[in-house]
Structure 1
Amino acid sequence: MNATVTVVDHPLVQHKLTVMRDRDCSTKGFRQLLNEIGMLLAYEVTRDLPLEPVSIETPVARMEAQRIQGKKLVLAPILRAGVGFLDGMLSLVPSARVAHVGIYRDPETLEAVEYYFKAPSDLADRTVLVLDPMLATANSAVSAIGQLKKRGARDLRFVCLLAAPEGIARLQSAHPDVPIWTAAIDSHLNDHGYIVPGLGDAGDRMYGTR
């Protein structure tokens, strides 16, 4: 059975995504909106984290309250565009650990090439959110998740801004245990592996490169 796909259709997410899609959106605006959507997506993807009771003292009385159970999250952006989600998510979960997975897509073959990996040593004990704005061919996502699993990660969730049906199918086929959260599922991929209608190359639009 394939993992679930959750489309976050909150009005704020959809509004910000529309502004980002516009080709006239500035580099500064695009980067800021990606951070804001990252925070909103983090809110949704962590909705079912387990809680445990703790006893605390308020200024008025002792009480039983709830806190997140177990070790803190790991945010694992796929470099470079995945970093665009980090600030927004860390503002919501400031104690999260951060892993970095460096992967680029070969422009000729569209295959994923890994060039960097650095992560906490106890991935097996943590929930890992794998971050990449675009789930297009899914080659980078499949590779990154595979590398995280090799290092012990067991509870993984993939978070993106846009997904293509082809990318969803590929990720589900390779890693059927990893659920997906996205702000939208677009029509298809073009011959260059770009999502249509999409928003172009997220990394280039974040950093003003071409």
Structure 2
Amino acid sequence: MGELVLIDNPLAKYYLSVLRDKNTTPRSYRDAVRKLGFIVGYEVSRRLKWGRLFVETGLAKAEGVYPSRPVYIIGVLGASIPMMHGIWDALPWAGLGLVGARRRVVDGELEVEIFYERIASDLAVYTTIVVDPTLASGKTMTKVVELVSERGGRDIIAATILASKRGLEYFWSRHPGVPVYAIEVDPLLDHRFFIVPGIGDAGDRSLTPDYVTKY
């Protein structure tokens, strides 16, 4: 079993509750995902490499810190866009990469295909954070981490909001050394490979426009 870092924070649990509510509007859903991204980025920062330095305050020198290893965020299109921005808000010096992954259910089995990627050609020097708001079957995260490893990535972190037990088991069967940061773990997947009780389809719910009428 790999390392699971559950973020036990009441504010994070509140925003997760907003996502679980079927009546949450797309705008509010996006906002909650982005805020959870910031919280996840804050927690991930504990794992990053930091150096020490002295800064001039105007009155005297004070000891401070700076990131001593570059960071690269990779978001899975398109559901991860708000969460990715939230992590970027927390770690604004990070680089940013994008991966497009397509899910298909064939004869009751889920297949994942990467059809687009825009990431650095060499990730060896980075701490790489792979971002997807749900880790359901684990297959999308597995594919993206494989791609990161092929590009030389060794210091890899998986960041999500909600994972399933089955997804974690699958992911760690392929990448046992990659820690997973999450707000919560749910027990089940349905026949469409969505997490139950879950937060719905994170892509549809966060990227859909709000409908505004005059009446």
TM-score (norm 2): 0.92
1:197 counterpart residue number: 197
Q: CA deviation at 1:57?
A: 1.8
Choose the corresponding residue for 2:72, options 63, 69, 74. 74
1:6 counterpart residue number: 5
SS in 2 for 1:45: helix
The 8 Å contact of residues 99 and 118 in structure 2, kept in 1 or not, is answered as: yes
Deviations 1:105-133 (A, max 9, x none): 11434211111111123411010110001
How many residues matched?
207
Task: Map 1:1-210 onto structure 2 (within 5 A).
Answer: 2-71=1-70, 73-108=71-106, 109-208=109-208
SS in 2 for 1:56: strand
Which aligned runs of 4 or more in structure 1 are off by greater than 6 angstroms?
Answer: none
CA distance in structure 2 between the aligned counterparts of 1:61 and 1:141, rounded to whole angstroms: 47
Q: CA deviation at 1:66?
A: 2.0
- The code of the aligned residue for 2:102 comes to Y
CA distance in structure 1 between the aligned counterparts of 2:96 and 2:8, rounded to whole angstroms: 27
SS in 1 for 2:12: helix
Q: CA deviation at 1:155?
A: 0.6
2:212 counterpart residue number: none
SS in 2 for 1:125: coil
Q: CA deviation at 1:70?
A: 2.2
Deviations 1:63-103 (A, max 9, x none): 443222122x1110111111121221122211110011111
The 8 Å contact of residues 41 and 88 in structure 2, kept in 1 or not, is answered as: no
- The code of the aligned residue for 2:156 comes to L
CA distance in structure 2 between the aligned counterparts of 1:160 and 1:106, rounded to whole angstroms: 21
Structure 2 residues not aligned, in runs of 5+:
210-215
CA distance in structure 2 between the aligned counterparts of 1:199 and 1:90, rounded to whole angstroms: 22
TM-score (norm 1): 0.94
CA distance in structure 1 between the aligned counterparts of 2:5 and 2:74, rounded to whole angstroms: 19
Please say which of residues 182-191 and 87-96 is displaced more in the overlay.
Answer: 87-96
Q: CA deviation at 1:137?
A: 0.7
Deviations 1:2-31 (A, max 9, x none): 320011120000011001111000000000
CA distance in structure 1 between the aligned counterparts of 2:44 and 2:202, rounded to whole angstroms: 21
- The code of the aligned residue for 1:44 comes to E
Deviations 1:34-53 (A, max 9, x none): 00010001111121322222
The 8 Å contact of residues 79 and 203 in structure 2, kept in 1 or not, is answered as: yes
Structure 1 residues not aligned, in runs of 5+:
none
The 8 Å contact of residues 69 and 127 in structure 2, kept in 1 or not, is answered as: no
Superposition CA RMSD, Å: 1.4
